[in-house]
Amino acid sequence: MSRLCIIGDVHGMLAPLRTLVRDLDLQPSDTLVFVGDLIDKGPDPAGVVSYVEDLRRSAGCEMVLVEGNHEDRMRRYLRNLVVRPAVAKAQAERAPELADLRAQLDDASETFLDWSVPFHRCTAYGVLIVHGGIPGTMQEFPASLEAASMLAGHEAKRLQKILRTRYLDADTGEFLALGKQVEGDPFWAEVYDGRFGHVVFGHQPFPDGPAEFPHATGIDTGAVHGGGLTALVFDPERPRYFVTVESDCHIPYRGAAYDGE
């Protein structure tokens, strides 16, 4: 059984990412998973994308990018540039970083979205990796990426919520859209019962360090907000452990309104 290394939200923080990858000392037998949100917010999202693409070609190990909500937003923008230019223009007016990143990416780097996936399972360690979280009303989860690709309509939209889930309706367990939570509505991982295995997730920054819940672990430690960049490592030779490197970026956290929803 090989190591599973999972890196939290990078958000354009190239220097900490380079240091973290160096500290992980990746081996060809390892699997490296990014939990999503490589881009936006930080000083060098294009540099992060180029670095990850180079790493994917040179590291020799399996690499997986779990799609985050910022990748999803970029994907929609690139698609709209072709099929709905007016919509793309409106997106770029609301979020200038979309056009800025597109202008900085070469054709090779732009393909980073092509190998992203909605989730990653590692059955050897009993881990499910998603970007956001699990809605309380989700009773079934696709058994494979192939099964997920076959979903359509309401079922496909339901799965998309794993990119953005934070808070749940206290009475129903339903996913709550941005800003809709009220006092008493729980963070999803507080009430998740482990039905799909232990979930490793990003999306919600925990600048004081990784967040441990009964059946989930949050590893977005707010690199872009000065909290460091963290990897969670599952190793057959020892108990799981965290590797965190410092970040010199201290962009104030402005809440979920700035999260590419």
The CATH number of residue 150's host domain is: 3.60.21.10
pLDDT at 79: 93
Tokens found for residue 175: 């996913």
pLDDT value for 250: 67
The whole-number pLDDT of residue 258 equals 47
Burial degree of 2 (CB within 10 A; 0-12, 13-18, 19+): middle
In sequence order, the 6+-apart residues with CB closer than 8 A to the CB of 72 are 160, 163, 260
pLDDT of the residue at 28: 95
* Residue 144, helix vs strand vs coil: coil
What is the reported pLDDT for 254? 62
What is the distance between the alpha carbons of residues 93 and 144, in angstroms, rounded to a whole number? 37
Residue 115 pLDDT: 92
| 47-71 as b/e: b if 16+ CB within 10 A | bbbbbbbebbeebebebbbbbbbbb
Q: How many domains does the chain have?
A: 1
Token pair recorded at residue 136: 């309380």
Give the pLDDT confidence of 69-104 residue by residue, as tens digits: 999 999 999 999 999 999 999 999 999 999 999 999
DSSP state of 167: B
pTM of the predicted protein model: 0.94
Q: With both helix axes pointing from N to C terminus, report the angle between 69-83 and 85-94 in degrees, rounded to the nearest 10.
A: 140
Do 48 and 79 touch, CB atoms closer than 8 A? no
* Burial zone of 86 (CB within 10 Å; 0-12 exposed, 13-18 middle, 19+ buried): exposed
Q: Can you list the alpha helix ranges (DSSP code H) found in the chain?
A: 14-24, 45-58, 69-83, 85-94, 97-104, 107-110, 145-149, 153-160, 188-191
User: For residues 210 and 148, what is the distance between their CA atoms, to the nearest angstrom?
Assistant: 29
| Domain span holding position 100 | 4-258
- Cα 37 from chain centroid (whole Å): 5
C-beta atoms surrounding 208 within 10 Å: 10
Residues of the chain with pLDDT under 50: 257-258
